[in-house]
Amino acid sequence: MAWVAWNESLAVGNALLDSDHRLLIDLLNQLHDAIDTGQSRDVIGNVVSVLAEYVEHHFQREEAIMADAGFPGMDAHLSQHRDLGGRVRRVRDRYLAGERGALAEDVVDLLKKWLTEHIQVSDNSYKPWVARASGDGMGPSAMARKGGNQS
């Protein structure tokens, strides 16, 4: 069984972003498994490097989609991305520099917590805007129509 399992609390209402988030979770699982099964420093270093790079790539994509969707909480969300991306890069840099304990169990647990909580809490807040922009009918105006508030 996967260390981190996908569940509906991680869904943000956009197929591209959901598939990015699934890939990030897959990379977290790969990192955890590589450490758990005693893989070489090269293998573990590669996984943590791909994770850090994909985090950046994904944040850029997510920021473009949020901007297109007119999400009003962009500034706070962007600063969270800068902070989170920096934390993941620092873990990677310390590991690649050979620091003992850079990927100790508690650090890997933190990576999981930072990323899953960001998706569940912060990313969840743009869901109605992004869903509306995706045209799937689940945005705020569609919800209002569903409630019969418009004549």
Identify the residue among 123, 127, 131, 132 touching Fe ion (CB under 5 A).
Answer: 123
Q: State in angstroms the smallest separation of the CB of 59 from Fe ion.
A: 6
- Residue 44 corresponds to which tokens in the numbers above? 């573990």
Instruction: Note whether 11 and 132 are within 8 A (CB).
Output: no
Residue the block writes with tokens 């955890």: 32
Contacts of residue 131, Cβ cutoff 8 Å, sequence gap at least 6: 13, 14, 138, 139
Q: State in angstroms the smallest separation of the CB of 22 from Fe ion.
A: 14
Under the binding rule (CB under 5 A), the answer on residue 20 touching Fe ion is no
Piece of 16-24, 42-50, 85-93, 117-125 that binds Fe ion (CB under 5 A)? 117-125
One-letter identity of residue 103: L
Indicate the residue among 30 and 123 with the shorter CB distance to Fe ion.
123
* List of residues contacting Fe ion (CB under 5 A): 123
